[in-house]
Structure 1
Amino acid sequence: MAKKSVAENRKAYHEYFIEDRFEAGIVLRGTEIKSVRKGHVQLKDSYVSFVNGEAFIKEMHISPYEYGNIFNHDETRERKLLLHRDEIRKLSDKVKLKGYTVVPLSMYLHNGYAKMEIALAKGKDLHDKRNSEKEKTAKREIEKAMKNYR
């Protein structure tokens, strides 16, 4: 079965240099997975933190399930990420260095399970953001010119 994309964090590509990517499972409650399947997920300001050798995603917003009544979940609660012990150790050691953080890039469904692509990232300075915007614009203009040339 193919992957079905649920949410993307485009802001992460603008704010950070992406260095290393990982796939993580995520622990969800009953009404949360129903909202995820409908695509009611927002990753914009979320980040990953490490506590006692475990990884948790914070500030990820999953809208309440419309038919969930009293069993609905808290929208921005901490959710545990499922990673191998070596991956957690590697990421937490890097995060202790200055300037590194772990951010979610996308969330998708794979064989019925919610998965998340997370990345080790280093923050961009303002001039870096300007440079990447210039490069993106130049690349877009070159592709447009090549398309018109054909």
Structure 2
Amino acid sequence: MPKGEGRLVAQNKKARHDYAIEETFEAGIVLQGTEIKSVRNARVNLKDAYARVDRGEVFLHNMHISPYEQGNRYNHDPLRTRKLLLHKKQISKLIGETKEAGYSIVPLKMYIKDGYAKVLIGVAKGKKKYDKREDLKRKEAKRDVERAFKERQR
């Protein structure tokens, strides 16, 4: 199964706009109690989330998982820091790549694969304003070409 295949729960569309993604990793995520029920109901927001390596472990910060409606007192803190599950080789690779200036770890999407919640994280370098504009121009030009090609076939 290729990376990112499964039932999509949440996607960070802004990440691909703001960052140039160098490499991606699939990571498991440690959830508490009712969090998995909220994840299955797609009540997740990855917009401002980021990952950080701390003492040889990777943690996801600022990811919002809404409290489960029927969870009452067993509900969790929506913005708590969650641990990501990766192999040691992957973590050491992440440490090496993020030591370079300008690189960070950004969650791209969250999905359910074989009953487990997974997060696709990417090693990313921030784009400059002119890079973002260039990408938008390229995307628009591609759309125009496809539109013209479609009209030509009719």
TM-score, structure 1 as length reference: 0.98
Question: 1:93, CA displacement in angstroms?
Answer: 1.7
Whole-angstrom distance in 1 between the partners of 2:11 and 2:96: 26
Residue 12, structure 1, aligned to residue 18, structure 2:
no
Of 142, 145, 148, the residue aligned with 2:148 is: 145
Of 86, 93, 99, the residue aligned with 2:102 is: 99
Cα deviations by residue, 1:116-136 (Å, 9 ceiling, x for unpaired) = 110111100000000001000
Calculate percent identity across the aligned residue pairs. 55
Give the SS at the match of 1:56: strand
Structure 2: give runs of 5+ residues left out of the alignment: none
Q: Output the amino acid matched with 1:148.
A: E
Whole-angstrom distance in 2 between the partners of 1:117 and 1:59: 16
Q: Which residue of 2 aligns with 1:89?
A: 92
Whole-angstrom distance in 2 between the partners of 1:144 and 1:130: 21
Give the SS at the match of 2:145: helix
Whole-angstrom distance in 2 between the partners of 1:6 and 1:22: 17
Whole-angstrom distance in 2 between the partners of 1:92 and 1:10: 25
Residue 53, structure 1, aligned to residue 56, structure 2:
yes
RMSD value over aligned CA atoms? 1.1
Number of aligned residue pairs: give it.
Answer: 150
Whole-angstrom distance in 1 between the partners of 2:61 and 2:27: 14
Cα deviations by residue, 1:82-121 (Å, 9 ceiling, x for unpaired) = 0001111111121111010010110000111000110111
Give the SS at the match of 1:115: strand
Whole-angstrom distance in 2 between the partners of 1:92 and 1:58: 17
- Displacement over 3 Å in runs of 4+: none
Cα deviations by residue, 1:20-69 (Å, 9 ceiling, x for unpaired) = 01000000012100000000000011000011000000000000000000
TM-score, structure 2 as length reference: 0.95
Whole-angstrom distance in 2 between the partners of 1:61 and 1:146: 42
Q: Which residue of 2 aligns with 1:116?
A: 119
Q: Which residue of 1 aligns with 2:81?
A: 78
Residue 37, structure 1, aligned to residue 40, structure 2:
yes
Q: Output the amino acid matched with 2:87.
A: H
